[in-house]
Amino acid sequence: MNLLTETERRFRRGVVAHLVERGIRIAEVGSSSLPNSTINWKDQMSTTLNQAVSHTLHCLLGCSIGEILGMVISTGFKWSNFASIFISIALAFFFGYLLTFQSVYRRNKDTKAAVKTAVATDTVSIISMETVDNGFILLVPGAINANLSSSLFWWSLLVSLIVAFIITVPVNYSMISRSPHNHMHH
């Protein structure tokens, strides 16, 4: 028993024909810019995932340096929790950008391009990492008030950075897969 009416069948055939025709035109225009006509999507996904993991590890290093240094400074000066979070985030951005800047500058010796690349490629990654990291610290009872000699401070920081890494890899994967340059600065 066929439940589709003749009108529905014609509509679907028309839509399919339109999509096929449009797809052929897109393929004709786009194929000239492709290096070859066969793309191994599995290899491309693997490369993009490796880039995302590498980029996130790089970001994690900068964020970790900033977080720890910020907490050491704020604890040493007996600053409030808000000031501790603020300086930790500011330093995480500073060190995250600095590490990328150095990596790019070492290759092309162009300060302006290195700054633009660092800001363009790291901002979303650092925001993601810092949001998850600080959110986790705020959710763990007592972690925000733990001092540097406390095991609670260190294990909550470690776990927060691991969780931030796990959540930020897909963010970076998405950004890299959409980017025409594939964020290959690392």
pLDDT on residue 158: 92
Number of domains in the chain: 2
pLDDT on residue 31: 39
pLDDT on residue 177: 82
pLDDT on residue 92: 94
Q: Which two three-digit tokens encode residue 15?
A: 């839509």
Q: Is residue 185 part of a domain?
A: no
For residues 104 and 172, membership in a common domain is answered with: yes
pLDDT on residue 89: 95
Token pair 């003749």 is found at: 6
Residues 63 and 161 sit within 8 Å (Cβ to Cβ)? yes
For residues 32 and 106, membership in a common domain is answered with: no
For residues 104 and 150, membership in a common domain is answered with: yes
Q: Is residue 61 part of a domain?
A: yes
For residues 24 and 50, membership in a common domain is answered with: no
pTM: 0.69
What is the rounded distance in angstroms from the CA atom of residue 159 to the CA atom of residue 70? 18
pLDDT on residue 39: 52
Q: Is residue 184 part of a domain?
A: no
pLDDT on residue 141: 93
Q: Is residue 16 part of a domain?
A: yes
**DSSP conformation class of 8:** H
**Other Cβ atoms within 10 Å of 22 Cβ, number:** 10
For residues 18 and 54, membership in a common domain is answered with: no
Residues of the chain with pLDDT under 50: 1, 15-16, 18-37, 182-183
Q: Is residue 183 part of a domain?
A: no
Q: Which two three-digit tokens encode residue 164?
A: 């931030």
pLDDT on residue 41: 55
Q: Is residue 80 part of a domain?
A: yes
pLDDT on residue 14: 55
Q: Is residue 1 part of a domain?
A: yes
Q: Is residue 186 part of a domain?
A: no
Nearest to 67 by CA among 133, 125, 127: 133
Per the structure, the complete domain to which residue 25 belongs is given by 1-38
